[in-house]
Structure formats: C-alpha cells, structure tokens
A = this chain, B = another copy of it.
Amino acid sequence: MAMRLSEQQREAALAQLDGWSRMVGRDAISASFRFTDFNQAFGFMSRVALMAEKLDHHPEWSNVYNRVEIVLTTHDAGGLTDKDIELARFISRIAPDGSMAAL
C-alpha cells in the first residue's frame, strides 16, 4: 500500500509541481484548469481518466464547461502519497500551456 509522504518528501515534490496547491484542512493537492471550450476540457479529462485507470489511482474532479478542478489524495493512505505526485506530474505534462489557472 502507498505510504503517506513525509513533510520533507512532499515539499520536495511540490516544489517541482507548478500550479498545484496544498489544500487547507485536508492532506491533498489541487489544481484548476481553464480550456478553450468543453471539447478541449473533456478531451483532457479523457486523457487523465485513461492514465488514472492505468495507475489504478483516480482523481476527485469537477467540470463546468471549459473549467476543470482536480483534487488528488490517496484515500487508502489517508493523505498524499507518491501516487498523487505521479498522477499530478502526468496531468501537468498534458495540460496545454496556459490552461493551469492560478489559485
């Protein structure tokens, strides 16, 4: 089972993850994305969904037209693990330039 990251591990990981924020009151990270339209937003979600299945690790997420909000945490572990960082890295890599909204 994935182990929760230590404070040092999470700080090191998050320093390399532009656009992701630690949530307040919850051991999780979140990011917001804004796309041109629904087609682009759902296309992005479909790519994330395929990777989520491959990793067997799934996001909490919501979508309204061209906007997508994603929260990552590992329910089994009760907090942030390597799996969240791995999925976050993939998401950041495939997000079009400029689509990650500042929080």
Contacts and interface: CB of A to CB of B under 8 A. Distances in A.
A62 B39 CA distance: 17
Contact of A60 (B42, B58, B61, B62): B62
B61 A62 contact: yes
A66 to B, nearest CB: 9
Interface string A63-81: 1110000000000000000
Interface residues of A, number: 16
A42 B45 CA distance: 10
A38 B63 contact: no
Interface in A40-69: 42, 45-46, 49, 52-53, 58-65
A2 to B, nearest CB: 16
